[in-house]
Structure 1
Amino acid sequence: MSNGYRNDFRKAIGHYARTASGGSTSASRRMGSVAQAGAGLFGALTGIPAGPSEASVDLKSLAGLPCELAISAISQALITEDGDSEKIRAAMNYALVEALDGVETFDPQCITDDVIADTMISYLAESIFLQMVMDSGKAWNKADTPNQAMHAETELRELIKVVVDKHMAPRLTGNVRSLSRQQMTQIERQSIIDAWKEWEAYL
């Protein structure tokens, strides 16, 4: 944060992944609620019937709404009230806005397999980004200017997205809708572990 050098930034992420976050297994466990909520988002987008204790939302009921209102309704319906609820809501909103960019009026037919895959990758990447920012705390105050802080946030978000996409996208090829909620939870958890292992190698 203090000098903006990319190599130092990578070293800091490596230290975070190896030490501050407790490693890949610990990270996957800590982000368990993120993965569970992600499975709920996947279920809603694919139309998988929710179980008795699972949150759900009927996309057909949102047809015709302004897209931003539909996105807000989806994330509101799917979050659980726990310590991660705000992070999960923000990540869902961010991912859906990214995936549905350019859509003004919500139509369930616009939820294609590509949109589903893009949403899930963006959701997990943004969740990890928000977790890292929360965990790094006062480190963000070391930027000399607000612009420097914004640049660092952009760099971190992009780095996370690239790595998550690298490990998650190959698992979301073919008929994405054939996956179950449980399989999506496992894909998210394994993608977290794989991303962390890559970051742990940053020296």
Structure 2
Amino acid sequence: LLDSRLYLPKSRVEDEARCQRARVPEEARQMRSKCTRALERVDAALTHGVRFGYVVVDGGYGKDPGFLRGLASRSLCFVADVHKDQRIWLNDPEPYVPPASGGRGRRASKRRTEAPGQTVAQWARQQSESAWKRITLRQGEKGRLRAEYLHTRVWVWDGKEEQARCWRLRVRRECGAKSPSHYVLSNADEIDVS
């Protein structure tokens, strides 16, 4: 364990009397998301010279595009579980702000795309059985542990950024299973899938 910090839910942060009785430090009484706090921990580790190859997170953090962008902007490689409804594009969706329409009304400020996206689960269902690659992960107590994987380059866009991010999608299913068990986004070209 490198770092641990007190996390209080919003209801506790807003209860000033309770915080005072519990002697919660003033700096811990500010509501910040778990993802913001996680980036603070990563920054603290970097400041203290901790070296690591990847930041690996579960779907609770992987679903937050701001968190993944934060890791990427720090030039850190990440491997993040994402939920099956994570939206992806197989080509750059080229987000744009629509031009003003005839000078009437307010100018649009929200970015959009004409490119149809899909979820990671939809993409995985569209793949043929022959697209799945069987990989031996390691020797287990009952023999070799194997899983099947799909891998492709995808673009991820949260509807706010100026440009979509090009990352890697890896989908895992247990051998013989019909549906995937993990969807993973990564900004690293090569990772150890085990």
TM-score > 0.5 by shorter chain: no
Greater gyration radius: 2
Higher-RCO chain (CA-CA 8 Å, sequence separation at least 6): 1
Name the TM-score, length of structure 2 as normaliser.
0.23
Structure with more of its chain in helix, by fraction: 1
Name the TM-score, length of structure 1 as normaliser.
0.22
